[in-house]
Amino acid sequence: MATNNVVIIQCEDEYFESINLAEKIYIRMPGCSVFLICDEFDPSYTEKVMLAGIRKVLQFPIDSITLNENLETAYFLEKSRMENVESGTTTSVQSQMITVFSTKGGIGRTTVAVNLAVALSKKGKKFAIIDADLQFGDVNVFFDLDPKETIAVLTEGKDSSDMDAIRRVMGLHFSGVSIICAPKSPEYAEYITPDMVDAMIDTMRPFYDYIILDTPPVFNDISMVPLRMQTCFYV
């Protein structure tokens, strides 16, 4: 059965690129609901948006409650639709992935990731956040956390497939969010491979309702991991 997830694309003025990306995701990720978020939407693009498979267009500013309601509604509607389309077989329940990504720095990726994590955690969801901005990640700063261990520790014993080892490097915020922090020094980033991140996410998924990745503002092997895994996107 196809994975049911939600893709959120942030669009400023580049409607063509955003709609083109939405169409590719819609085609390659069956069962995925695609959203478009923008400051102002040009109605002349309505037909193209519909043809690209975008479920809904949301406009800034948008509060976390409204965003969460739309995410959940889209997810469950698409999940029900795909269950009717598929043969009726089901897979074991695993966490949903949300990746916060943009090629432009300083627009608030980490702010979105952290606030979404806390908002969902307050709703009783078991939530983990991975700081995948391996050179300059500062998720720990937003959570006011000084980590004793970071994701870099998992490279030492190749423990990315060991849930106990993963838990040992996690920080825990009072909101209930579990946090895997980026390395304290940029040079450690080169030791963290996409395969390692893949294995870590696969190991974590049965234990959490949601896992969110905060990524660097560049296309690289790490930021492309979620797309290969058919996970959720915020662009």
Mark which of 48, 74, 91 sits at the end of a domain. 91
Q: Are residues 221 and 106 in the same domain?
A: yes
Position with higher pLDDT, 46 vs 232? 46
Take residue 197 and report the two structure tokens written for it: 């991140």
Q: Is the pLDDT of residue 180 over 70?
A: yes
Q: What is the mean pLDDT of residues 7-22?
A: 82
Tell me the CA distances in angstroms from 157 to 139, 151, 153, 154, 196, one per residue in order.
24, 12, 8, 6, 11
Q: Are residues 85 and 99 in the same domain?
A: no
**In total, how many domains does the chain have?**
2
Q: What would the pLDDT profile of 50-77 be if each residue is shown by its tens digit?
A: 778 888 888 888 888 888 888 887 777 7
Among 186, 85, 178, 84, which residue's Cα sits nearest to residue 134? 186
For position 80, what pLDDT does the model report? Answer: 66
Q: What would the pLDDT profile of 160-172 be if each residue is shown by its tens digit?
A: 888 888 888 888 8
Q: Are residues 109 and 83 in the same domain?
A: no
Q: What would the pLDDT profile of 76-112 be if each residue is shown by its tens digit?
A: 777 766 665 554 443 444 678 888 877 777 778 889 8
pTM of the model: 0.57
Q: Are residues 136 and 202 in the same domain?
A: yes
Place of tokens 């497939």: 161
| Residue-range definition of the domain harbouring residue 46 | 1-91
Residue 179 confidence class, pLDDT cut points 50, 70, 90: very high
Q: Are residues 72 and 144 in the same domain?
A: no
Q: Are residues 132 and 226 in the same domain?
A: yes
Sheet with 178-180, side-by-side order of all strands: 54-59, 32-38, 5-11, 232-234, 96-100, 210-214, 127-131, 178-180, 171-172
The CATH number linked to 103 is: 3.40.50.300
User: What is d(CA 171, CA 173) in angstroms, rounded to the nearest whole number?
Assistant: 7
Q: Is the pLDDT of residue 185 over 80?
A: yes
User: What is d(CA 61, CA 226) in angstroms, rounded to the nearest whole number?
Assistant: 26
Position with higher pLDDT, 229 vs 45? 45
Taken in order 181, 187, 192, 193, the sign of the CA dihedral is positive
The CATH number linked to 67 is: 3.40.50.2300
**How far separated are the first and last CA of the chain, in Å rounded?**
25
Tell me the CA distances in angstroms from 172 to 37, 128, 146, 212, one per residue in order.
30, 9, 11, 15
Among 229, 194, 196, which residue's Cα sits nearest to residue 7? 229
Contact 151, 183 (CB under 8 A): yes
For position 94, what pLDDT does the model report? Answer: 64
Q: Are residues 106 and 210 in the same domain?
A: yes
Mark which of 64, 91, 118 sits at the end of a domain. 91
Q: Which of 54-58, 219-223, 230-234 has the lowest average pLDDT?
A: 230-234
Name the percent of the chain lying above pLDDT 70. Answer: 85
The pLDDT mean for the chain works out to 79
Q: What would the pLDDT profile of 202-214 be if each residue is shown by its tens digit?
A: 888 888 888 888 8
For position 228, what pLDDT does the model report? Answer: 60
Q: Are residues 33 and 134 in the same domain?
A: no
Q: Are residues 123 and 188 in the same domain?
A: yes
Q: Residue 225 — φ and ψ, nearest 5°? A: -55, -50
Q: Are residues 233 and 133 in the same domain?
A: yes
Q: Are residues 153 and 171 in the same domain?
A: yes
Residue 181 confidence class, pLDDT cut points 50, 70, 90: very high
Q: Are residues 123 and 217 in the same domain?
A: yes
Mark which of 66, 91, 116 sits at the end of a domain. 91
